[in-house]
């Protein structure tokens, strides 16, 4: 158990700044890898297949559900998203820490299946901020943007499912908080190995 990687599950309504925070954490730690999800959403202009997502059509996604390839999956904003099981299992078993960026429905599924995992929820300081950020991003049509805002109002209510909440008003402060969580989770007494060896104590 001690050698297993840790699973960091991060959720946030669109526009809360989650992607930038996750990228910064990934840049900071070599032993942390991003779980690339499978989705039926169309790629955005700057997205890369196999880096941001594995983009598939609906039939392929449904076949993957049938073949039990997902650890969890959900419909979000009208598209399907799922976490490939194989990657997570292999990485955790080899001691690599994993960062999952999934919606609250997926996080809830995971929590009911796995007895470990650190659950972090990131929110914007207000709905007004959220709308501004989504508009500035210019990645969605007006219709899709409205759908994401409506969903954000619903998603925020899931906050009690999470171990930690970060209110992202200022990037630096929010990143320090996320980093603090990451560090603290590595100092848990149950995970610190062989203190007797380190201190040269007789067992
Ligand atoms: P976006 O379309 O903006 O990339 O992502 C939309 C939402 O889908 C975000 O809340 C993101 O966390 C969520 N999402 C991305 N991948 C997965 C996944 O594998 N499973 C679930 N349940 N949600 C995901």
How do the domains of the chain map onto residue ranges? 7-188
How many residues are given for the chain? 203
> Residue 2 has what pLDDT?
53
Q: Is 74 in the pocket of ligand 1 (CB under 6 A)?
A: yes
Q: Which long-range contacts (CB under 8 A, 24 or more apart) does 142-151 make?
A: 144/77, 147/77, 147/78, 148/13, 148/14, 148/15, 148/77, 151/13, 151/14, 151/76, 151/77
Report the chain's mean pLDDT, rounded to a whole number. Answer: 92
| Token digits of residue 70 | 């997902």
| pLDDT greater than 50 at residue 41 | yes
Q: Is 177 in the pocket of ligand 1 (CB under 6 A)?
A: no
Q: Is 134 in the pocket of ligand 1 (CB under 6 A)?
A: no
Give the pairing type, strands 70-76 and 79-84: antiparallel
Q: Residue 79's beta-bridge partner residues?
A: 76
| pLDDT greater than 50 at residue 1 | no
Confidence of residue 82 (pLDDT cuts 50, 70, 90): very high
Please, what sign has the CA dihedral across residues 144, 145, 146, 147? positive
> Residue 203 has what pLDDT?
63
Confidence of residue 57 (pLDDT cuts 50, 70, 90): very high
User: Comparing 13-17, 87-91, 148-152, which segment has the lowest mean pLDDT?
Assistant: 13-17
> Residue 193 has what pLDDT?
67
Give 93 Cα–ligand 1 centroid separation in angstroms: 24
Instruction: Tell me what the mean pLDDT of segment 127-139 comes to.
Output: 87
Distance (Å, whole) CA 137 – CA 74: 24
| pLDDT greater than 80 at residue 88 | yes
Give the number of other Cβ atoms within 10 Å of residue 171's Cβ. 12
3-state secondary structure of 120: strand
> Residue 140 has what pLDDT?
82
Among 38, 82, 83, 102, name the best residue to mutate to test ligand 1's pocket (greatest count of ligand atoms within 8 A of Cβ).
102
pLDDT digits (tens, 9 = 90+) for 94-111: 999 999 999 999 999 999
In the 8-state DSSP scheme, what is residue 161?
A: G
CATH 3.40.50.300 correct for 7-188: yes
Q: Residue 119's beta-bridge partner residues?
A: 9
DSSP of 23-46, one letter per residue? HHHHHH-TTEEE-PEEE-SPPPTT
Q: Which residue's alpha carbon is nearest to atom 22 within ligand 1?
A: 106
The percentage of residues in the chain with a pLDDT greater than 70, rounded to a whole number, is 98
Distance (Å, whole) CA 131 – CA 170: 16
């Amino acid at each position: 158990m001690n050698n297993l990687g840790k699973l960091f599950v991060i959720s946030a309504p669109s526009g809360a700044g989650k992607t930038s925070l996750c990228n910064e954490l990934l840049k900071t730690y070599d032993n942390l890898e991003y779980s690339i999800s499978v989705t039926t959403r169309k790629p955005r202009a700057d997205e890369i297949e196999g880096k941001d997502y594995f983009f598939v059509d609906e039939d392929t996604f449904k076949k993957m559900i049938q073949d039990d390839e997902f650890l969890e999956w959900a419909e979000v904003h009208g598209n399907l998203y799922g976490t490939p099981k194989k990657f997570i299992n292999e990485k955790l078993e080899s001691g690599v820490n994993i960062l999952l960026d999934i919606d609250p429905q997926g996080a809830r599924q995971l929590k009911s299946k796995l007895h470990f995992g650190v659950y972090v929820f990131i929110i914007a300081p207000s709905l007004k901020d959220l709308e501004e950020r989504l508009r500035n991003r210019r990645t969605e049509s007006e219709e899709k943007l409205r759908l994401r805002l409506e969903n954000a109002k619903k998603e925020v209510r899931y906050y009690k499912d999470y171990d930690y909440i970060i209110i992202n008003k200022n990037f630096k402060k929010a990143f320090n908080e996320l980093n603090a969580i990451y560090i603290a989770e590595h100092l848990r007494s149950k995970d610190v190995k062989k203190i007797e060896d380190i201190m040269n104590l007789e067992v």
